[in-house]
Amino acid sequence: MALQPAAGAKDLNPQQVETNQFISSLLAETYRLWGYEEVAPPRVERLDTLMACGAISSNDIVKLVASEPLGLRPEMTASIARAACTRLSEKPRPLRLWATGTVFQSRESVEGGLCIEETLQSGVEIFGIKNISAEMELMSLLLKCMQKLSLSKYQNPTLLIGHTLLMDLILSPYENSLRDEIRQSLINYNSLELKQLNLEKDQKERLVLIHQLRGEPKAILEKLEGIFGNQEVIYNLRRLFSIIAPIAEKQGLTIQLDPTFQPQLELYTGIVFQLLCRNDASPVVVARGGRYDHLVRQCGAKEEEAAGLGFSFSIEKLRELFNSANPKLDKPIRTLVVFGEKSSLEKALRRQNELHDLGHQATVELTQCNGRKDATELLALRNCNKLEWLN
């Protein structure tokens, strides 16, 4: 067998790379407009940084053989938070940063071996703001990115939002292992387990009722207020939705508030969200994020600045959606310079140089061609769309 890439790794073809770059540059352009600065976190990190605050389980990290425990980054938030709290600690807050790059995750293959999944991500982080204003900016930026990507037209995007404080309210009457069991049942949507828990009938009915609460934010917040009374988290979420709901509506994006939606990770300490697009089959998570103040505190931030939140887009997932919807990317003019028997390679190279000076893409056909017709036929083969025939 010919040499193959490592299990899980992918060789991208030029068209895939081009789409990746197109998406990345659209996102980068938007982040810059909003005043975010680019950082380039290292691909290799200490394991304790990567696993801080339960950001990821040890099994998911690709570990390196070294004298200290090191791993390849499975996401970029932990590294950026570390940099924000050390090298960039003197910078004024709010600190707005963005990064793009590959991340690596380890998983077990069906045959039992290890696979390394390498994927491209692009995302932003905002540090040092503890109140809802950071969420208001971040979610507005997320919606702007979606608008730039023009996914709303054909991919039914839904922004699914939860909040750890809402979950705390739901779980407040319960303690210890019972609390964990209820939390797991709610997060995993295990309605059967929820009904089989050792609880009083009225408590069970209350949990079942809460478990079914999800949908349009305004209506859900009203129902939550009816159950839990006047709470700060409900007030804050109302402020957030008053900003983002009209923007989302204009873009054709659905916002869904889901009080029992939480990722398994313990990293988050506030708002949590996923942006999903629904293609023919299953929902695809194209972006995810949330608030992670504990992580920033653990990275050594001063108490008054121990706050951070962000999101990251999965470029690969976006590319798949782009391909399935088949939007036409603007193709630049690519000229193929071809010479016949009355011209020469030297002349062709000089002409290519002239075209480059004018800022055009131009490639030289290195062998002589018999006629204009043959030269025209070469265009598709060389991935060019304009002919410069020298003869």
C-alpha to C-alpha distance for 226 and 220, rounded to whole angstroms:
10
Q: Quote the CA–CA distance of 335 and 320 in Å, as a whole number.
A: 29
**Closer CB to another protein, residue 15 or residue 188?**
188
Binding of residue 231 to another protein (CB under 8 A): no
Q: Who's near 51: CB < 8 A, 6+ residues apart?
A: 57, 58, 61
Q: Facing residues of 118 across strands?
A: 104
Q: Minimal CA–CA distance to 382: which of 20, 21, 374? A: 374
Q: Which two tokens stand for residue 189?
A: 């949507």
**Does 191 sit near another protein (CB under 8 A)?**
yes
Among the candidate windows 5-13, 64-72, 78-86, 182-190, which touches another protein by CB under 8 A?
Answer: 182-190
Q: Which is closer to another protein, CB of 277 or CB of 295?
A: 277
Q: Quick one: 283 or 327, whose CB is closer to another protein?
A: 283
Q: Rg (Cα) of the chain, in Å, rounded?
A: 26
Residue 281 sits in the site that holds another protein (CB under 8 A): yes
Q: Tell me: does residue 278 bind another protein (CB under 8 A).
A: yes
User: Does 1 participate in binding another protein (rule CB under 8 A)?
Assistant: no
Among 13, 282, 367, 370, contact with another protein (rule: CB under 8 A): 282
215 has which bridge partners? 257
Choose between 159 and 307: whose C-beta lies nearer to another protein.
Answer: 159
Q: Which region among 169-177, 191-199, 310-318, 319-327 touches another protein (by CB under 8 A)? A: 191-199
Helix-, strand-, coil-residue percentages of the chain, each rounded to 5? 45, 25, 35
The answer to whether residue 355 forms part of the interface with another protein (CB under 8 A) is no
If one counts every other C-beta atom within 10 angstroms of the C-beta of residue 309, the result is 27
- 60 near another protein, rule: CB under 8 A: no
Binding mask 139-178 for another protein (x = CB under 8 A): -------------------x-x------------------
- 370 counts as binding another protein under rule CB under 8 A: no
In DSSP terms, which residues pair with 274 in a beta bridge? Answer: 160, 288
Helix or strand or coil: residue 1?
coil
Instruction: State the Cα–Cα distance between residues 260 and 283, nearest whole angstrom.
Output: 18
Please name which of 300, 276, 280 lies closest in space to residue 288, comparing C-alpha atoms.
276
Nearer to another protein, 190 or 361 (CB): 190
Interface with another protein, residue 2, by CB under 8 A: no
In the complex, the smallest distance separating the C-beta of residue 156 from another protein, rounded to whole angstroms, is: 9
Verify binding: residue 356, another protein, rule CB under 8 A. Answer: no
Candidates 78-86, 124-132, 169-177, 188-196 — which segment interacts with another protein by CB under 8 A?
Answer: 188-196
Q: Which CB sits closer to another protein, 29 or 205?
A: 205
89 part of the interface to another protein, by CB under 8 A: no
Please tell me whether residue 217 adopts helix, strand or coil conformation: helix
The CB-of-157 to another protein minimum distance in angstroms stands at: 11
**Is 287 a binder of another protein (CB under 8 A)?**
no
**Binding to another protein by residue 324, rule CB under 8 A?**
no
CB of 58 or CB of 188, closer to another protein:
188
Burial class, 200, CB count within 10 angstroms (exposed 0-12 / middle 13-18 / buried 19+): exposed
Q: Does 111 bind another protein (CB under 8 A)?
A: no
Residue 235 is a binding residue for another protein (CB under 8 A)? no
Strands 114-127 and 308-314: antiparallel
- Within residues 195-224, the interface with another protein by CB under 8 A covers 195, 214
Q: What is the DSSP letter of 225?
A: H
* Choice between 43 and 214, CB closer to another protein: 214
**CA nearest 139: which of 341, 292, 275, 339?**
275
Could you tell me which stretch among 124-132, 277-285, 310-318, 350-358 binds another protein (CB under 8 A)?
277-285
Cβ atoms of 312 and 76 within 8 Å: the answer is yes
Strand partners, 313: 122, 287
- Pairing relation of β-strands 37-38 and 95-108? parallel
Residue with tokens 């939390």: 183
Which residues of the chain form contacts with another protein (CB under 8 A)?
A: 158, 160, 188-193, 195, 214, 256, 258, 261, 276, 278, 281-283, 285
